[in-house]
Amino acid sequence: MSPARPRTPAVRWFRAVALIEAVSYLVLLVAVVAKYGFDAPAGVRIMGPVHGCIFLGYAALAFAVRDQLRWTAQHTAFVLAAAVIPLGGYLVERSLGRPGESPGPRPGPVGGQTVRTESDG
């Protein structure tokens, strides 16, 4: 049986910040639409720096947890690039699985056989 994924405080913080980053990016996009569509620049003035700080925290935490989660340089680059697309932080957080979930092959439905899924590599 594979060991469970680490759930250190840093990994828990990363998961939370990944979700917060995704939401703040969506709010910033709405603020940009309001700025240019309705001549209401206040939202961008507020959300721009807020989202920027959250993104920096996301990036710093991604580097802090990469060894714990055994990410390759390529996977780390993917995690950082995902923050550039709307809801990318959400997708990254979901890709980490549920707390305590094993990262390896999942048990199959019959006779304890293992079934490899696309996400298992």
- Counting residues of the chain whose pLDDT is more than 70, the rounded percentage is 75
| CB half-sphere exposure, 27, CA atoms < 13 A | 17
Give pLDDT tens digits for 2-47: 445 678 999 999 999 999 999 999 999 999 999 999 999 999 999 9
Token pair 């979901």: residue = 94
**H or E stretch at 64:** helix 42-65
